[in-house]
Structure 1
Amino acid sequence: MGKGNQEGTSKQFRWTKPMEHLFLEILAEEAQKGNKPSNAFKAASINRVVEAISEKFQVQCDAKHVENHLRTVKKQWQIICTIQGESGFGWVDNMKMITCDRATYDAAVMVQCL
């Protein structure tokens, strides 16, 4: 049973890869249009994502879900930028993936675990 009151329902919103792709696509368009004047998107941009996700995937998406996911994506991007700048790490643009040898990876993981 989910976290909701009825069997099969859940109060927790789950982002799928197709949802995330649409989310990023719309926000990229909004940024290009100038609807991100500072560090935050305008409410209309967030609402555009909410409506598109809700309609296309037949889910109950609201602005809070979009804002929370945007924070998650920003944190992930900051980690990618940090790792890219470190010695031993590379970036494969066509695969959009960080690369490194096993020893570099193991050393980075050990630093994160300490």
Structure 2
Amino acid sequence: MILLAFYGCGRSSLEKLEFEIFSAGFIFEKAPFPECHASTIVETEDSFLAAWFGGTREGDKDVCIYTSAKEDEDRWGIPVKVADGIVNDTLQYPCWNPVLYKRDNGDIILYYKIGPNPR
């Protein structure tokens, strides 16, 4: 994911960057949905917050945005559905491509798209 974000920077720019792995592992062992995709992560004041979309299959109406906070060194919290694409009683769209962004004041904003396709 990080390499894709810097793909257009050119080789000389990438050579100057240093990366450190803080932790490696899974947020959950058994997902409450068949598929998930498009993860994003942000460092909070004292931990990490991750988001992704999950549902039956990418593009299905039941695809929602979920988040989870890292609770300690080895454990993440239970995934929480934060967006479901429900417009009204008869209309639901899939949710797409979450992006977490931390503002200078520490507020975290979650951007995502609701609609029939990601465009």
TM-score (norm 2): 0.22
**Bigger CA radius of gyration:** 1
Higher helix share: 1
TM-score (norm 1): 0.22
Higher RCO, 1 vs 2 (CA within 8 Å, ≥6 residues apart)? 2
